[in-house]
Amino acid sequence: MTTTPVKLAVIYYSSTGTITEIAKEIHDAGLKAGADVRLLKVAELAPQSAIDSNPAWAANHAATAGIPEATPADVEWADAVLFGTPTRFGNVSAQLKQFIDTLGGLWAEGKLVDKVYSGFVSTATAHAGQEATLLALYASVHHFGGITITPGFTDPEKFVDGNPYGTSHVDGQGAHPVDDVTRTAARIQVERAVRIAGALKAAA
């Protein structure tokens, strides 16, 4: 049986660029896994003065100017959605949460149901709310009626990064760029999400 490729939306918010890098890795790994992938950022809510006050934030803002902003139509299109966010006090960033809050219309129409969802996250320090943020993100998926697909410890490489909830990275305020451990975790996560979304699509 042949089916059309899995439609994967990678929807993220990034201030200083760590989540941007992971999102790009997930995008590329999704393509290699055979998916039709859209790389999408959510709208920035911070004022330009705040962005300009941080050189890394300003650089990422400029570098990603060409990446399209996500819309609810992108979620409706997708078979699988990977959401990315930095941690904000152990929770989802306001920018990503604001986007999720725009999905109420699709939720009311039952158009978020039975899609595959997963998440990825970054923090400045270790133990700074990575798991709490992913669990908070997945609470929305439960309301969607979505299918939460985490990487778990489904691959020996997952014991290296040690987070079964989703890809996570400690950037040390920019001192620790995205490394091979994080890139491997991202690849494992998206390959699993695409595989399961494909199986669900084939069975539908």
Q: For residue 34, what is the DSSP state?
A: T
What number of other Cβ atoms are within 10 A of residue 72's Cβ?
17
Give the pLDDT of residue 2: 54
Q: Which domain holds residue 38?
A: 7-203
- 188 assigned to some structural domain: yes
- 64 assigned to some structural domain: yes
DSSP track, 122-143: EESSTTSSHHHHHHHHHHHHHH
Rg (CA), the chain: 16
Taking only the tens place, the pLDDT of each residue in 41-78 is 999 999 999 999 999 999 999 999 999 999 999 999 99
Taking only the tens place, the pLDDT of each residue in 162-185 is 999 999 999 988 889 999 999 999
Q: Alpha helix locations (H) across the chain?
A: 18-32, 48-52, 55-63, 72-77, 94-101, 104-108, 130-144, 158-161, 180-203
Given a cut of 90, whether residue 1 has pLDDT beyond it is no
- 14 assigned to some structural domain: yes
pTM across the whole model: 0.96
Number of domains in the chain: 1
Strand partners, 36: 7
- 111 assigned to some structural domain: yes
**CATH number for position 193:** 3.40.50.360
Contact present, 169 and 122 (Cβ < 8 Å): yes
Which tokens sit at 45?
A: 């809510």
Q: For residue 85, what is the DSSP state?
A: E
Over residues 103-111, the mean pLDDT reads: 97
- 2 assigned to some structural domain: no
- 154 assigned to some structural domain: yes
Give the pLDDT of residue 172: 87
- What b/e sequence results for 24-43 when a residue is b if at least 16 CB atoms lie within 10 Å of its CB, and e otherwise? bbbbbbbbebebebbbbbbe
- 1 assigned to some structural domain: no
